[in-house]
Amino acid sequence: AIIDSNLVWTNGSNITITIDTLDSPSGSVSYYTDGSKSDFNPNGLIQQPAQVSFTPLSDGNMAAVWAVDIWKDLGDGTWSSTSTVNSDYDIFYRVFNPIDGTFVTDEIRVTDTTESDYIESVTATDSGGFIINYNKINNKYINKCINK
């Protein structure tokens, strides 16, 4: 579940995990008919995590994987995630122990581009790791294998 821009997982009894995700501000850039534009104007809100997956791992841990649409200054007066540039989702993960509620990893950023990364699937491996498949191009996925 997503509560107050954080990911929340519960085992249904006494363990609740809250992952305080990267706080990425929401806002806008205004483009005018004369070709000029405003700077990024934060609106005081935080971008919500999307494409959320909680995947049980073979070693008993759990992988939380999500994407966040992040505004990035492109350095030339333009911003990603605007109406003239497609959204700019980056992918993150964090591994936790669902039995005692401890975190195994910090929040890890998998992608950091100006392309929009869409999670297709998350698959556990036999070694306790997992594979994040994203951005299907020409019927093939880009993937990131996370090993222990």
Average pLDDT of the chain, as a whole number: 80
Structure letter (DSSP) for residue 37: B
Contacts of 40 (CB under 8 A, 6+ apart): 27, 28, 29, 71, 73, 79
Helix ranges (DSSP H) in the chain? none
> Could you tell me the pLDDT band of residue 104, with boundaries at 50, 70 and 90?
very high
CA distances from 87 to 29, 30, 68, 113, 123 (A): 13, 15, 10, 11, 25
> Could you tell me the pLDDT band of residue 81, with boundaries at 50, 70 and 90?
low
Structure letter (DSSP) for residue 73: B
> Could you tell me the pLDDT band of residue 74, with boundaries at 50, 70 and 90?
confident
Q: Is 132 helix (H, G, I), strand (E, B) or coil?
A: strand
Task: Give the model's pLDDT for residue 97.
Answer: 92
Q: Answer yes or no: are the C-beta atoms of 45 and 63 closer than 8 Å.
A: no
- Cα separation, 92 vs 105, whole angstroms: 12
